[in-house]
A and B are shown apart, each in its own frame.
Chain A
Amino acid sequence: MKKNLFSNWYNSLLTVVFGAFILWVVYSLVKYLIGVDTEIIRVNLRLYMTGRFPSEQLARLWGAIYVATATVALFARATVRNAQMKATEAGLDFERSHWTDVVRRFWPIGALILFTLSFTQTITPTLLTLVAAAIGLAAYWLGGMMPKWLIHRSWIIVVAGLVGFYAVLVGFGGVGWDLWQGFFVNIVITVAGISLAFPLGLMLALGRRSTLPAVRVLSVTYIEFLRGVPMITLLLMGAFALGFLIPGDFQFSLFLRLLIAITLFQSAYIAEVVRGGLQSVPKGQIEAAQSVGLSPWKTMRLVVLPQALRNVIPAMVGQFISLFKDTTLVFIVGLLDLLRAVQISTAQPEFFAQGLEAVVLPFAALYFWVGSFVMSRESRRLEKKLGVGVR
């Protein structure tokens, strides 16, 4: 490959020109990074990560993080054991993945955590993060002792984890979700948005294919309307107009209204992705299922949907990444996410008029970049594992 760099005059010219350009870029970057003053990040790190979360309640936030870590570890273990049991039942060999594989998959996240910790001003966050890692490992090990019925119903773990997470944060006079801010809120909205929009989008896609014309027209109208408008307009609607639709004094919190707007918006896009998937399943599959006597619902659930969803994993994950990036739009309604937090910090009296936007904006970009990058890498891994485009 490298010999193509100078194989002919054309290539040589390109290489020289590009090479010079790239060297200049790298040089400017290095020069800039060496001279940059990261004081603003050090001082404002808590604002960036958690916004105005009351400092005396931070213990709750760490508690919630521990709950989340434990849940993920337990769920991972359950999945591995599930696959193991299925393999032994079918008499196949089970390949245990080595822990180095996990590291290779998620090293950007680990790097980002270390990077964040490098800006903390005390040793406490580092210690607390180590505790989180310890809890994760312990949960993974404990997962080895889970009873079989739990492994088969591993969704119980996820549900319990979600409930625990919420309870730790909000229960017993905790912090309501209007104060979930900073990068924390970007993540929460992404996870909540994906979980809520996916089933809704699925239903809409099925509705769009329905043989009942009324249902089909309604689904199409909804999807086309929501896909034609920018998300910002829906957020504006959520902030300004939704309150008028509810009679009387009952009030949804701003966070909830935003979540509703984001869910409605994303569900239309997910519906389109699923529709593409449904179209990609050969008709023969449905006919075969019918010939075996499966009801339409069973056909959909056991034959069509698994194939359809598998075929559109890249587009689906692409949509999730897009949701993650769109969480930055909540600035327009005053919700303080990571991007808005870094903007505010450059206007603080100690830091303003010093051109620090060029420091904090790339800093914020890093977080979004790592999240999106890891998601797309996982999607490619999943595609390869499930044989998308090959079978």
Chain B
Amino acid sequence: MNPVSLLVFDGLLLVSIAGLAWASLATTDARRSVILFMAFGLVLAVAWGRLLAPDVALAEAAIGAGLSGALLLAAAHRQPRPLPPASTNAPRNHGAAGVGVVLRWAVTLLCAALAGILAWALLHAFDSAPHDMLPQAISANLATSGVSNPVTAVLLNFRAYDTLLELAVLLTAVLGILALGPATPGYQPAGPVFDGLIRWLVPVLILTAGYLLWVGAHAPGGAFQAGAMLAAAGVVLRLAGRSRIGLPDGIVLRIVMAAGMGVFLLVGLSLLLLGRPFLGYPPDWAGSLILLIETAAMLSIAATLLLAFLGGRPESTGDKAAAKRQREAIS
């Protein structure tokens, strides 16, 4: 592609990104805002592809636009009417209409000033040549990392500590969600067309998850994208009104939730016992250890994202029986 048409493409892409973001935030209709945000995420995935970041593009399309969109849309659906004005006379709670025009302009000007300062700092930073010591170190050590995709090598070998803590963040977030109450009520059973579609779609999603997990070692893909695909299978089943969406029950669910972090920690600590640094894999085993950790991480990520979509503690069969006994005891 010649440089001019590429520049035109960049311009169109960036105008759509900024335009969709603006449109999504300018409306006060929650559902419209969420749908525009999902479109924004999908266009952003094209931008990641343009900037040669296919791993990020996959994750953005599956997680950023897909699952975030599903979460937000479900929340917008539950909230059809606007908030009733709070009875307290705190003007900030009265919403956009209550905020004075002066304050709105002041905030807008401040945000514009922030954008200006950021842009200035950015241009200043771009002015100096990039110090490419880190990428050089990565390509020099890629052979010993056990994988040939540099992004996977950074995530699970060179900076494995970050990913371990990321799994801890996921676990903490899902524990918070579970602590906040029971799951949202399920959906109506799907019609024959959607029901027929999910019979085809769910196996394909599970297969794609397995493929992405395996291919992450040498091409774009990995545990995050694979976990998002598995979670998407569960979300589709839930939307179709199925009561069983592939989430295990009781203690098994707890084990699956903690598996990603648990296996990661076990591998790290076992290596310490063998006299190696924490998470410093021996080059011969690195590939297998990374696959082991990624498999556990994929299951944890899928369970976490699915629980996040449920929005609370799923009603297990044990709970149902207990609730029934309680109702009988009362009556």
Same complex = no
B interface residues with partner A (beta carbon < 8 Å): none
A interface residues with partner B (beta carbon < 8 Å): none
